[in-house]
Amino acid sequence: MATLILEDGSRFEGTLFGHKAAAAGEVVFTTGMIGYQEVVTDPSYAGQIVCMTYPLIGNVGINDLDFQSAGAHMKGMVVSELCDLPSNWQTKDSLESYLDAQGVTALYGVDTRALTRHIRAVGAIRGMIVEGEGTQEDIDALKALKVENPTMDVTCREAYEAGEGDVTVALLDMGTTRAVVNSLTKRGCRVKVYPADTAAEEILAAGCDGVFVSGGPGDPAALPAVIENVKKLMDAKPTMGVCMGHLLMARAMGGNTVRMSYGHHGGNQPVKDIARGTCVVTSQSHLYLVDKDNLPVNAEVSHINWNDRTIAGLRYTDRAAFSVQFVPDGGKCPSGTHYLYDAFIAGLKK
């Protein structure tokens, strides 16, 4: 028997699997019905304990194709029912074995519906997975836990290149996924990926046709030096941003960002494209958004989250720059958001 303890004293019992060691982090829930491997390896979940709202997890194991980064980034995982006998022709490992190897503590047999409803009521909250019932000392340790900004933990350690083509894109890596890099390279881009703290002057001196600011974890307000670099890059080159990149670009242009209660996490977030008049299903993972009451003066809203009417995209009227609060699909998914990559690259070729 093990317990997920929340800082407000709430407890959710289950059984340990994976790494089977105490783990603490910010507890959020994700509403995706598929793609647990992508969630486990998405850098946007760094430092978090993730509750999976879909009840059965682990049924297709772990394969070699769906990794979004080199390893797991979440602190912990909470599921309702764990499938310990995966069945899929691409399976290379079980979820439990992979989490153990990656040092991720997890719980199964948890009432994830009750946990999700609790997070919706109180907001994302610090929590700790412990063996047994846990103690008052555990709760005291939780209250003292400082949630650090994890950007520098998930960005690349040094610059690298991917792909070939007649268009060069400088990608500022805030915790990018492989899907984003692949979406650019398969469209004929030479992608130069830079660590998050790389100076704008260094990026511009190396040469590029445009800049892409990736997604990643954490609070954009905690990255003032990055925001200043993003401003310089936006002043110099056509720029596209997604997720964290969207937030950084808004701050770079004088806007503000605010923390949400429990955020948007999952691959089923509906977003309306105002100009096209269409609604698309998007993948999102964030606890912060652009403040609609403090927009940059040179920005207009291009996309709206159709669940709660929050801002999901901005277009900048005085420069070739736009951003969205989600990761556009690369073209394989039916949501059809790949046109954003196409528009960005078409603009660079002009």
The pTM for the full model equals: 0.95
Q: Interior CA angle at 22 toward 16 and 27, to 5°? A: 85
Q: Is the pLDDT of residue 178 over 80?
A: yes
Q: What is the C-alpha to C-alpha distance for residues 100 and 327, in angstroms, rounded to an integer?
A: 28
What is the average per-residue pLDDT within 328-341? 73
What is the average per-residue pLDDT within 103-118? 97
pLDDT tens string 137-172: 888 888 888 877 899 999 999 999 999 999 999 999
Q: Is the pLDDT of residue 4 over 80?
A: yes
Closest CA to 302 of 260, 249, 258: 249
Structure confidence at residue 120 (pLDDT): 96
Structure confidence at residue 142 (pLDDT): 85
Structure confidence at residue 214 (pLDDT): 98
Domain boundaries, the chain: 2-144, 151-349
Q: Which CATH class is domain 151-349?
A: alpha beta
pLDDT tens string 67-80: 999 899 999 999 99
Q: What is the C-alpha to C-alpha distance for residues 184 and 341, in angstroms, rounded to an integer?
A: 7
pLDDT tens string 194-209: 999 999 999 999 999 9
Structure confidence at residue 337 (pLDDT): 87
pLDDT tens string 10-63: 999 999 999 999 999 999 999 988 899 999 999 999 999 999 999 999 999 999
Q: What is the C-alpha to C-alpha distance for residues 40 and 227, in angstroms, rounded to an integer?
A: 28
Looking from the CA of 36 toward its CB, the CA atoms found within 13 Å total 26
Q: What is the C-alpha to C-alpha distance for residues 44 and 50, in angstroms, rounded to an integer?
A: 11
Structure confidence at residue 144 (pLDDT): 83
CATH among 3.40.50.2300, 3.30.428.10, 3.50.30.20, 3.10.450.50 for 2-144? 3.50.30.20
pLDDT band at 133 (very low <50, low <70, confident <90, very high): confident
Looking from the CA of 336 toward its CB, the CA atoms found within 13 Å total 8
Compute how many other C-beta atoms are within 10 angstroms of the C-beta atom of residue 350: 7
Alpha helices in 128-223 (DSSP H): 136-144, 151-154, 178-185, 200-206
3-state secondary structure of 63: coil
Tokens of residue 120, six digits:
């919706």
Structure confidence at residue 137 (pLDDT): 84
Q: Is the pLDDT of residue 270 over 60?
A: yes
Beta carbons of 142 and 3 less than 8 angstroms apart? no
Tokens of residue 338, six digits:
């790949």
